[in-house]
Structures are given as structure tokens and as C-alpha cells.
Amino acid sequence: MDTAVTFTTKQWQELDAAHFLHPFTDHKSLHAQGSRIITRAKGVYLWDSEDRKILDGMAGLWCAAVGHGRQELVDAAARQMSELSFYNAFFKTATPPAIALAHRLAELTGQRFKHAFFACSGSEAVDSIIRTMRHYWNIKGQPSRQVIIGRTYGYHGSTIAGSAAGGMSDMHKQAGQAPGFSHIMAPYWYGLGGSETPEEFGLRAAKALEDRILELGAENVAGFLAEPLQGAGGVIIPPATYWPEIQRICRKYDILLAADEVICGFGRTGRWFGSDTFQIEADLMSVAKGLTSGYIPLSAMLVGSRVANALIDEGGEYNHGFTYSGHPVACAVALANLDLIERDGLVDKAAIQGEKLRAALRARLADHPLVGEIRGVGLVGAIELTADKKTRAFFPEDAGVGLRCRNHCFRNDFIMRAVRDTMVFAPPFIIDDEQVEEFVARAAHAIDLTYAEVQDAGLL
């Protein structure tokens, strides 16, 4: 049964409201409004149940690097499913796709991360990192090193450990905050830098790590967990001074450094990893989204030699794993996805199209009274909406200016996401020049509509 055709939009919406609890959603208001039912996708476009064509400025959810509907990935999944649909890797067994993918990831990271542990989601990869960091210090005879330092506006997933490591206060409030986590300020120059230069501010934001380590006592700190750029927190791109200083501090106090590359990994920033773009030398890395372009759930914790040697040579039994760790179908899809990214030069393409997109957005919107900043690297970026261009002032939180803009995008068949009053975007790497123009026109239209609405509401 082709349910997309059989059911009307209204029927889908009724069933959805009756049964489906959505992630990160105010269900009451969703039910009042009804979900938009997405039924198919190709390239950079989605179609809904009313057959409206939508420009996907978020690549699904930061993941569809190669674009939607690539037959090569469909074929890889089908081939693997008919050969071996599933076997686990718990009991001294392995499957060829999982082995081949771990090998491929070692190659892609220039042998910096020779070992991969597979999971299904970014959250699970992060959870694995937290567990492994603490385990490492137990192995090393320093069991007091338990605290994971994260950052305000950091996002590391929605498991108990991932949300505790992340710096989203609403998530902490909802389910209580687990012990053993501490947060420092985000390197968010636009929002927090005041009159400092980005370079000065970057050093101050990094110094917060040293201050916190000293406050907690280095002997209690397991490691620092951070995204190369903070994606879900509003595409916060640290000033150039930030990462070198963070790296120096981690080395000085001998704490582990984990880069959460769930968004940045596999080309999003115009290099293979955010760690290449920002010159981070992490001990551990989490990857997900771009690993399969979102075609099938798969994530990995990549482990560098410092931790891997301890784990393998001295660690004994590693009491951790998921049924689907190294799922052969997911790993086969990942291999096909990496083939496509390499074959089509999509990492360079993300860098080139990202430049074009930012230039075109700036040409069209830099002088717009509602736009405070347009920033980005590779094909991930943000447009700050501001109440005052000169002072970079924010609107009152309850004015929901970002949400208003998101709604205008959505109504006009275009997807950008709102984080506070920051509009964020991350389109597929295959976006072509014409689609870049379309992106800019649609973004400008939504921002114009938002501006008119904000003026009508007396917010300006």
C-alpha cells in the first residue's frame, strides 16, 4: 500500500496527533496546528503530502551530505541486506562491512584514529566517549578523574549522559542534571564578546577552561568534550585564538580532549573533519550524521592511540556495547556514502558552495536592518537576527523572533532552523549554483516577512 497516496494529509495529521510523540516538540501546539507530512525527497528538495516542493536548507538534520535519494546508497543497503542483514559483534565475531568501515575511518583520519566503536546515534557515540574517558582514568589508576567539562549551548545528544554533558539548560531542568559534569562559557563572540575583538574574546573563553580545571582540581577532571563549532547551539564558530589555547590547556593539565564531530564530520566545514578546519588534536571523536548522510542510523566513537592502547592492552573486559554496534547494513551504507563523497569531491564542493552561499547571502542581506551577522564555514552557517545592528542587541526572548522567521521559511517551502534568534542552515553538499540563488532568495523573503511582522508587533 502506498500510504502516502492512500491517506489524505488530514488523516495523517489526525493519526500523528493521536499516537506519535515527536522529539523536541511542544505537542499541544503541534496538535493545534498539525504536522507537515514529508513523503519523499530528491537532491536538495523534499516534497510534502500536498506535493509541495521544499528546499531543504538543513540537509534533513545536518546529515544528508550527498543529498536525498541517491540510488548508490539504496543499492548498498539492498545488497547487504540480502547477503547478511544482521549479525552482532559481541561474541568474538565481526562482519566484513564493520571491519572495512573501521579501516576506512582510520585511513580518512590519517591514522590518528585507528580504532572505531560503532553505535546508532550521535548521543550513543557521545555516551560511549564519556564512559570511555572515565574508564581510561580508572585503568590509569586515577579514578578520581571523573568530571567531564562541556560548554553552555553545547549539544551532545539527548541520552542522560549526552544531555548532561551538553549545555542546554532547558534539557537539564526537565530531567535533572547528572553529577560529574561542569560547563564553561561558549566561545560565542557575537553574543558575549561585547566590545572585545574576536581574538581577545577567544582567549578569554578558552581561559574559562583553565579556570574551571583549577577550581575543580585537575586530579578530578577526566576531559573536555566540545564540538569544533557548536551546531545546535546556533552555529557558534570560535574565534581563531580559541582552539589552540584550549589544546594547550588540555595538554598542560593532561586531560583528555574529545571532539564531538557529529555535525562537522565528513566535510561539513569544507575539510573532512572540523578538527582539520580548527586544527584540533583530539584523543577521541564522535561522528554520526554525515557518516551515512542520514540514510540509516549509524555513529562511531573514534579512538586515538593514547586511549586505545590503554583500553586494549590494559583495560580487561570492556563492559559496553549495543546490539547494533557495527550493524552490517548501516556500515555498508556508510562505505557507499564515503565512496560518493570521495568520488564526487563533495568535501571541496562544500567549501566552494559554502563560500558562494555566504557571499550571496551577504550581498543580499548584510545591510538588512534585521540582520546582525552572517557567518559560516563550509556548508554550515547562521544568520543572526538583531534588534540593533550596531550593538548586536537581542530581542526579548518571549518575542520569539527566530521562531517567527522559521515559520515564514516553512510556510514558503524553505527550511532553516531557529536557535533563539539565530537562523541556522546546513544544506546538502550537492547544492548547485542555481539552488544557492534560490536559497538566498527564500531566506531573504522570510527575513523581509519577519521584519514586517516584528515592526507590526512594535518590537523595533
Residues of span 222-241 touching ligand PMP by CB under 6 A? 227, 231-232
Give the type of residue at 129: I
Stretch that binds ligand PMP, among 47-55, 120-128, 368-376, 421-429 (CB under 6 A): 120-128
Non-local CB neighbours of 333 within 8 Å, separated by 6+ positions: 73, 76, 77, 80, 292, 295, 296, 298
Single out the residue of 440, 448, 437 nearest to residue 374, CA to CA: 440
Distance of CA 254 to the CA centre of its chain: 27
Of positions 121, 247, 293, 422, contacts ligand PMP by CB under 6 A:
121
Residues of span 63-102 touching ligand PMP by CB under 6 A? none
CA dist 450 and 405 (Å) reads 5
Residues of span 126-165 touching ligand PMP by CB under 6 A? 126, 155-157
- The CA–CA distances, whole Å, from 92 to 128, 171, 298 equal 20, 38, 21
Q: Does 293 bind ligand PMP (CB under 6 A)?
A: no
CA dist 134 and 146 (Å) reads 6
Q: What is the closest distance, in whole angstroms, from the C-beta atom of residue 121 to ligand PMP in the complex? A: 3
What is the phi/psi pair of residue 123, to 5°?
A: -60, -45
Single out the residue of 214, 211, 188, 212 nearest to residue 201, CA to CA: 188
The size of the interface with ligand PMP (CB under 6 A), counted in residues, is: 14
Stretch that binds ligand PMP, among 25-33, 117-125, 208-216, 368-376 (CB under 6 A): 117-125
Q: Does 325 bind ligand PMP (CB under 6 A)?
A: no
CA R_g for the chain: 22
Nearer to ligand PMP, 153 or 189 (CB): 153
Nearer to ligand PMP, 327 or 408 (CB): 327
Residues of span 234-273 touching ligand PMP by CB under 6 A? 260, 262-263
Q: What is the closest distance, in whole angstroms, from the C-beta atom of residue 382 to ligand PMP in the complex? A: 14
Q: Does 292 bind ligand PMP (CB under 6 A)?
A: no
Q: Which residue is nearest to ligand PMP (CB)?
A: 122
Give the type of residue at 81: M
Q: What is the closest distance, in whole angstroms, from the C-beta atom of residue 290 to ligand PMP in the complex? A: 11
Q: What is the closest distance, in whole angstroms, from the C-beta atom of residue 123 to ligand PMP in the complex? A: 3
Stretch that binds ligand PMP, among 33-41, 118-126, 201-209, 314-322 (CB under 6 A): 118-126
Of positions 97, 122, 290, 376, contacts ligand PMP by CB under 6 A:
122
CA dist 343 and 22 (Å) reads 36
CA dist 229 and 212 (Å) reads 20
- Evaluate whether 257 touches 280 at the Cβ level (below 8 Å): yes
Write out the H or E segment, with its range, that includes residue 458.
none
Q: Does 56 bind ligand PMP (CB under 6 A)?
A: no
Q: Does 167 bind ligand PMP (CB under 6 A)?
A: no
Q: Does 123 bind ligand PMP (CB under 6 A)?
A: yes
Question: In 3-state terms, what secondary structure has residue 397?
Answer: helix
Nearer to ligand PMP, 260 or 283 (CB): 260
Q: What is the closest distance, in whole angstroms, from the C-beta atom of residue 289 to ligand PMP in the complex? A: 7
Nearer to ligand PMP, 24 or 91 (CB): 24
Non-local CB neighbours of 428 within 8 Å, separated by 6+ positions: 43, 44, 56, 59, 64, 65, 66, 67, 68, 379
Nearer to ligand PMP, 122 or 427 (CB): 122
Q: What is the closest distance, in whole angstroms, from the C-beta atom of residue 227 to ligand PMP in the complex? A: 5
CA dist 97 and 13 (Å) reads 39
Give the type of residue at 230: Q
Return residues touching ligand PMP (CB under 6 A).
121-123, 126, 155-157, 227, 231-232, 260, 262-263, 288
